[in-house]
Amino acid sequence: MSKTLFENQRTRGVKKEEASLMSINIFEACRKRKQKPKLYGFHTFANPGCPIHLCGPFRDNIRVFIRECGEIEDYNVDGMPTWCTLLVNEKSGVVVPLYTIEESVKHSQRPFCDHCRCIGWSHHFVSNRRYHLIIPVEDEWNKPLEEDSFYAHTHILHGLIHCNGFGHLLCINGIEGGSKYLCGREIMDLWDRICTTLGTRKITVEDNSKKRSMDLRLLYGVAYGHSWFGRWGYKFSHGSFGVTEHKYDSAIEILSSLDLNKIVDDFSNTGQGREIKQIIHSYREVSETQLFTIRGLLRLMLALKSRAPVQRKTIMAVAAAASKSSRKAATRTQKSPEKNKAIKYRKFAPSAANMDSRWPARRLEQAAEVIVEALKEKKARSYSRGGMSRQDVRDAARQHIGDTGLLDFVLKSLNNFVVGNHVVRRAVNPSTRVLEYTIHEVSNGILITEPEIIDDPPQALALAPLDISPGPEPGSDVYGDVVYLYRTVLLGYPESEMVELATGTVLDSKHFVKEWPFKDEEDPVLRFICLVMPSSDQLETELTRQLSLGELVVVPLHSTVGELKVAVESAMRDTYCIMERFVAREIEGLEEMEDYEVLFGALESGSKLLVRGSGMDLTTELRYEGGAENWTVDCCCGAKDDDGERMVACDICEVWQHTRCGGIDDADTVPPLFLCAKCSGSLLSPREEIGMEFDYSCASFLVPETELAWMPNIGEV
């Protein structure tokens, strides 16, 4: 991408005249390219018919897309051709680059697809090409894509789609993930429109999204019955650790139907009982409908969080008034009468414009916002106790901002400033003598602080009950209340194995998928789903895995049988490595027809056809997306296939199982010799002869290195 195209976006401001000037500079820069680039609206791009109408299979649509909507770059990414499509944010004028890279599998360093293997698509034939759609992080918009762009996790958007239309959403980073201009919902809307327009068939996503240390698949699952991606149609696909769709649905139902009154009763004898009761009472006061379950409560809280700040504050003022009693963990600082006035703090945004800095004001504001988010995250994790050292804040912010000079300047300047709805303060911790940053919520210019917390002596820490506080006052910090309920109710429900198991089941469900069902359009062409059926000998000896789904083949309305065979051959050769020399001999249902006879009237458009032929390359290593190895998974949790979780193989039978199910913590290394429960039982019986006791369960047998001397050679067993 031409460096000058985006260089003026560095000084992007909020003033209209600056935005107008920026737009002019963008068009000036565009003139310097080899040809006039095409600009498309970010929020309308890939709407039906905008900018192009595509009605074929994905393998054809993607080629039309890059030809009509992209401009070839003068560099390659890892040797692969790259196109760029420019999208203009209609609201801000920001130009967003969307890159499309065509990766040739035969020339790729990683020809097999780990994502297919972990989602249950190991049996798919290896596609000839796969396409990466990438919007890089803003700081890289004026630079060529890096060689390792396929494997970076910092992109605003990264999707991978095989040329057969099956793909994976690998990365999405909105405001929470470091994007300066695009929120997650805008990015997902764009991705969904692109997938629909290009004719994708199935797209998977591994949902590891978090907000304030909360797993959103658990929070949204309880509140809405689906993950955050569920609003775009992504549904349960593949659970880890033997989780099935039935188990997942049951777990969601158990958690979402937790009765609020029962929650209050169950927590009444715990240290969190009073806080939970106040939170529930506060939000019941502002709810327009009666709240009975935690699903209704969380929905209300998340709805309030999404409202405008002024509207939310007005509503939650009622909630705060409904909870008059102050709490020990957080109180308003009391002042003497002469000092009991609203404390005013300087807002950072206006001050940033007057700072003597080499960075524009907007960059300073963004850095301050990132710092505040880091402090809020720390506050949520430590339940309002303590601050963060300068180095800790700097390290946390560097995950989103690479310019350390910018961070150092803002950290040096940031003291007693209002950023958003919080004051950032800097002071020396009297206990540690270390300079620490803290945040405190501000309401109408009045600072809300937590009381000083005296560190417990070491001998008292073991006896002190866990103190979890949601914040200064129920309702004043909606997300603080959500975090509190998430941690106490969903993760720490007292003496309830059912809730604990349900929570674990939801957290072990990370893989979701969206399917675009096949549709036969009302146009003058014939569409068929064609599946190549190998011979019985091939199915028994070579192609032993589940058959892949068929391919969409489109032919003109008055095509002949012979032309359909040619179209099937072309589609298969173009799509799969194993089919490069495939020849279609026979189509089921058309055996009695000659090649010159017309299809119209003999077959109904939209039918599924079985095709027999020859020429499949059974010698190629590029056969299945899961790789050439036929490895067996048989874990006590019920898993029979790779689910992306950490596994270990038995050194005798070579059957794989989860390390977690085998008694190996994620932080521990795999022992030099690992035996499954079955093999350890047969090898080491009777136990009395060895003088050791073993638990013959899924925990298996972990042989320490010091015990290996007496073990026989595995090859001799």
State pLDDT tens for residues 447-471.
Answer: 444 433 323 333 322 323 333 444 4
Rounded mean pLDDT, 687-704: 46
What pLDDT, on a 0 to 100 scale, did the predictor assign at position 319?
57
**Position with higher pLDDT, 535 vs 21:** 535
Q: Band of the pLDDT at 173, cuts 50, 70, 90?
A: very high
What pLDDT, on a 0 to 100 scale, did the predictor assign at position 332?
40
What pLDDT, on a 0 to 100 scale, did the predictor assign at position 18?
39
What pLDDT, on a 0 to 100 scale, did the predictor assign at position 30?
55
Q: Band of the pLDDT at 696, cuts 50, 70, 90?
A: very low
Cβ(125)–Cβ(577) under 8 Å? yes
Report which secondary-structure segment, H or E, holds 574: helix 561-575
Q: For 206-236, what is each residue's pLDDT tens digit?
A: 999 888 889 999 999 999 999 999 999 999 9
What pLDDT, on a 0 to 100 scale, did the predictor assign at position 327?
44
> Which of 94-108, 186-200, 596-610 comes out lowest in average pLDDT?
596-610
pLDDT surpasses 50 at 558 = yes
Rounded mean pLDDT, 29-46: 76
**Position with higher pLDDT, 97 vs 422:** 97
pLDDT surpasses 90 at 111 = yes
pLDDT surpasses 80 at 488 = yes
Q: Band of the pLDDT at 54, cuts 50, 70, 90?
A: very high
pLDDT surpasses 70 at 305 = yes
Q: For 390-446, what is each residue's pLDDT tens digit?
A: 888 888 888 888 777 788 888 888 888 888 888 888 887 766 667 788 888 765 544
Q: For 116-161, what is each residue's pLDDT tens digit?
A: 988 989 889 999 999 999 999 998 898 899 888 898 888 999 999 9
Report the C-alpha gap between 216 and 510 in whole angstroms. 10
pLDDT surpasses 50 at 38 = yes
Q: For 506-549, what is each residue's pLDDT tens digit?
A: 999 999 999 999 988 888 899 999 999 887 777 777 777 888 78
**Position with higher pLDDT, 45 vs 390:** 45
Q: For 616-657, what is each residue's pLDDT tens digit?
A: 988 888 988 888 777 788 888 888 888 888 889 888 888 888
As a whole number, the mean pLDDT across the chain is: 80
Most confident among 271-275, 358-362, 694-698 (mean pLDDT): 271-275
Q: Which residues of 592-619 are buried (b: 16+ CB within 10 A; e: fewer)?
A: ebeeeeebeeebebeeebebebeebeee
Phi, psi of 477 (to 5 degrees): -135, 95
**Position with higher pLDDT, 661 vs 37:** 661
What pLDDT, on a 0 to 100 scale, did the predictor assign at position 702?
53
pLDDT surpasses 80 at 286 = yes
pLDDT surpasses 70 at 72 = yes
Residues 6+ apart with CB under 8 A from 457: none
Phi, psi of 42 (to 5 degrees): -60, -45
What pLDDT, on a 0 to 100 scale, did the predictor assign at position 345?
67
Residue of 173, 251, 292, 704 lying closest to 500 (CA atoms)? 251
What pLDDT, on a 0 to 100 scale, did the predictor assign at position 643?
84
> Please, which residues bridge with residue 129 across strands?
104
The DSSP call for residue 151 is G
Report the C-alpha gap between 260 and 47 in whole angstroms. 43
pLDDT surpasses 80 at 2 = no
Residue of 105, 98, 108, 106 lying closest to 78 (CA atoms)? 108
What pLDDT, on a 0 to 100 scale, did the predictor assign at position 441?
77
Residue of 4, 72, 61, 12 lying closest to 38 (CA atoms)? 72
Cα dist from 549 to 56, 530, 535, 618, 623, whole Å = 17, 9, 17, 18, 15
What pLDDT, on a 0 to 100 scale, did the predictor assign at position 335?
41
What pLDDT, on a 0 to 100 scale, did the predictor assign at position 194?
98
**Position with higher pLDDT, 679 vs 297:** 297
What pLDDT, on a 0 to 100 scale, did the predictor assign at position 35?
66
Do β-strands 525-532 and 608-614 pair in parallel, antiparallel, or remain unpaired?
parallel
Angle (CA) 396-401-402 rounded to 5° is 105
